[in-house]
Amino acid sequence: MLDVKDNERYKTFTRRTAILSSGALGLFGVLLSRLYYIQVLESSEYTMLAEDNRVNVELIPPLRGRIYDRFGKEIASNRKNFRVILVPAQVTDINRALDRLSKIVPLTEAQRQKILRTAARQPKFSSLTVVQNLTWQQFAEINVNGPDLGGIQPDAGVTRFYPYGPELAHLVGYVAAVSEDEIHDDPVLVLPGFRIGKSGIEKTVEKELRGVSGTRQVEVDAFGRVIRELSRNEGSPGKDVVLTLDMALQSFALKRMAGESGAAVVLDVENGDILAMASVPGFDPNDFNLGLSQDTWDRLRNDELKPLLNKSIAGQYPPGSTFKMIVALAALEAGVMSPNETVYCAGKIRLGNHDFHCWRRGGHGWINMHNGIKHSCDVYFYEVAKRTGIDRIGEMAKRFGMGTPFDFGMLGEQPGLVPSRGWKLANFGESWQQGETLIAGIGQGFLLVTPIQLAIVCARLANGGKAVRPRIIRSIGEDSLAPSEAPSMGLSRRHLKIVQAGMNAVTNELRGTAYGSRITEKGWEMAGKTGTSQVRRITPAERAAGIIRNEDLPWKRRDHALFVAFAPVSAPRYAVSVFVEHGGSGSRVAAPIARDIMRQALALDPVTRTAIGPIATGRSIRPPISEEG
């Protein structure tokens, strides 16, 4: 029997046991209820969270639209790009990861630093491209060693490819990595290796070529490595673009211009289709897509021939004597000069205290408008310009498309310059001088034009005075871009025929300045105009000693060489402009090049051949045709 003391102790123990048991039961109840809440009431939410850790959703970059010439030749396409990507969130030490990778694929110090800078400024969960355009052997070795590389993953993407390289660098342009100020709110732009258009057509229609990104669901392990793909939505590929270009003619023009610095443009005089637009020298756009080295960039940027400049639309030069047709038309329209009226050329004229010289030291004698164009007499056009005045000349130049960009889809186009009294006063605070009008009469002084503008001038002269505009894009996807109707410029047909006849005499009449560069094939005859624009002033001492030959001068001090032409004379269809920087002579250098390009255009005759129509998105077209087509 328990004594009183033991009994008290027993009761105390029993109470404590009951309290502890009750507490334990309470805690167990709370635990059960929590488990019930998590596993039953909230099971769907936690299942989803667990699934999110197991399943990743990734963006799929859209396949970029292709670019074709008018006959279906692929001039910008896509090809496989074996590359390596890095996910910083899955790597504890990026430098160590790169050390492991460099045992398979050598990395330069510059590449390492670029990777580290990129990883530092973008979110850790975002992947970045470490190296691309791997060989199949390198790609296979990285796949085999994948488990040991941790956070570094092989990937088979797509990259842009330009099969014609430098031949279309300026026109088609190139793609390159997205810069920080170009990202904005589009998540696809931060994808590894994603490229966007940086120049040319690639940039002009970037939005249409880019397409819409897709998505894919992948199952990953605890280390973030992809185990399998669960689902995929490909998105929408970019739209294919068809240009007005004839690649065969483009290639010929570039070969003919090889070794020079300048541009050549070929147009359809009726609708303004650009059939060839060559700028030399060029560069390989694939270099920009694959990653340009600093040495290559410095070489391109510092080259005095300016290979990065699209001279056909951005090169601004004095038009020289190719401007004389504008001066003649301005005088005829103003009624200040009859085409039969003659001017005596003794080799120079005097205005005030200055002599204004003709290119022919002994002069041309008595000369009318026809022969003034044929022989390119400077004294004759000094007189025409003096009578006409700079305002009328400038107004006619603008009617022909000078002094303003055409905005036809090529970024970087320059406007040139058509000076006026008001322009000089606003820019120099000085009044216009009559001597400057004389200089403008032979295409010198303040006047500046681009090769595309000269081609349009020639096309408008050839087609009877219709204000045709240049066109480079035929279709985007399924949408055809029809050429706009060219309105009449309101010029007298009689006056146009006078100027056309003068241009015909340049090439097809004996002693014309380009008679030696005529096209002799019957029915293909070409009408043209030579131009030689000075880049320096010839001093009186040089004239007294006999003008120094261009060949004896440093390259940068030589005259520019120009030539414009249309053909066939009987039914004009093609217009050509050729500009050779510091070429020395329009008749000796530019005219033969233009003749050969025009002859090739007439032989290929691209405007009469069947071109491809609009291309449905994602649909392949027939294989590229051969050169003979």
Active centre residues (catalytic)? 321
Shortest CA distance to 311 belongs to which of 248, 272, 260? 260
Entry field: residues in the chain: 629
- Cα distance between residue 421 and residue 429, in whole Å: 10
DSSP secondary structure string for all residues of 71-119: TS-EEEEEEEEEEEEE-GGG-S-HHHHHHHHHTTS---HHHHHHHHHHH
Other residues' Cβ atoms within 10 Å of the Cβ of residue 382:
25
Other residues' Cβ atoms within 10 Å of the Cβ of residue 305:
15
User: Which residue's structure tokens are 């609009």?
Assistant: 614
Shortest CA distance to 58 belongs to which of 236, 246, 192? 192
Q: Left if phi > 0, otherwise alpha if psi is -120 to 50, otherwise beta: which for 44?
A: alpha
| Cα distances (angstroms) measured from residue 196 to each of 63, 186, 193, 353 | 12, 12, 10, 59
Question: What sign for the dihedral angle of Cα 94, 100, 101, 106?
Answer: positive
- Cα distance between residue 284 and residue 297, in whole Å: 11
Cα 46–chain centre separation: 53
- Write out the E strands in 446-572: 473-476, 479-480, 527-533, 560-567
- Cα distance between residue 287 and residue 8, in whole Å: 96
Burial class of 383 by CB neighbour count within 10 A (0 to 12, 13 to 18, 19+) = buried
Shortest CA distance to 195 belongs to which of 152, 105, 133? 133
Contact, 342 vs 472, CB < 8 A?
Answer: no
